[in-house]
């Protein structure tokens, strides 16, 4: 009798293990710059270095973040992650976008301050999905310096509607928001006195 109940218990446990749903796979996303022809007349004639951006809290991690409860509550997706932290993604993305937008013919991302004449740096303030409104929100503080002297600093924000309710659509909307911010930053610099 005891053997029969142990065998029955084992059979039930085995059946429960076989019917468990599979564990979802972790998925990783990166930003991609859309191909564009660089502007014909660059604003700056010297090389520009984009330094790593600062980011605090959830934005210093790789997990994707979404805002709920009217934007007061932030949560991380469990199985969806950025390939790098948002600060690294923004740095790499902006280096290409700033060149394409005509800031300079030579724009590079670098981990350290070197002898470059112009430096772009900044801070990630928002980098999330607004779930209720199905859009991406990117807010960055951007700064341009020349040999340690601040020439420009401003906070830029862009919201981009998602084409559909999916993580890949969120990634595309984030790319579009970053492109809008880049173009606005370069447009402001074109009208500013940078000496």
89 with 177: CB under 8 angstroms? no
Look at residue 160 in the predicted model and tell me its pLDDT.
Answer: 97
Look at residue 151 in the predicted model and tell me its pLDDT.
Answer: 95
> What domains lie within the chain, and their CATH numbers?
28-191 (3.40.50.10610)
How far the first Cα of the chain sits from its last, in Å, is: 92
Look at residue 4 in the predicted model and tell me its pLDDT.
Answer: 60
Q: What are phi and psi of 165, to 5 degrees?
A: -90, 80
Q: What is the pLDDT along the chain (195 residues), one digit of tens a residue?
A: 667 666 666 666 666 665 567 778 899 999 998 877 766 789 999 999 999 999 999 899 998 999 987 778 889 999 999 999 999 999 999 999 999 999 999 999 998 877 788 999 999 999 999 988 999 999 999 999 998 899 999 999 999 999 999 999 999 999 999 999 999 999 999 998 776
Question: pTM, whole model, 2 decimals?
Answer: 0.85
């Amino acid at each position: 009798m005891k053997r029969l109940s142990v065998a029955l218990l084992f059979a039930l446990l085995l059946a429960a293990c076989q019917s468990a749903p599979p564990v979802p796979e972790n998925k990783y996303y990166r930003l991609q710059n859309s191909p564009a022809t660089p502007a014909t007349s660059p604003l700056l004639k010297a090389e520009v270095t984009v330094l790593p951006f600062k980011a605090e809290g959830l934005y210093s991690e790789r997990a994707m973040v979404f805002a709920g409860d009217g934007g007061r509550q932030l949560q991380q997706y469990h199985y969806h992650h950025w390939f790098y932290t948002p600060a690294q993604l923004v740095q790499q993305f902006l280096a290409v976008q700033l060149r394409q937008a005509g800031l300079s013919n030579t724009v590079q991302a670098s981990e350290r301050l070197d002898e470059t004449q112009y430096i772009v740096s900044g801070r990630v303030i928002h980098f999330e999905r607004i779930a209720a409104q199905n859009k991406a929100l990117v807010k960055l503080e951007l700064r341009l310096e020349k040999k340690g002297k601040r020439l420009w600093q401003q906070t830029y924000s862009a919201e981009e509607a998602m084409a559909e309710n999916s993580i890949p659509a969120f990634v595309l909307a984030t790319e579009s928001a970053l492109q809008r911010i880049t173009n606005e930053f370069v447009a402001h610099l074109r009208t500013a006195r940078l000496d």
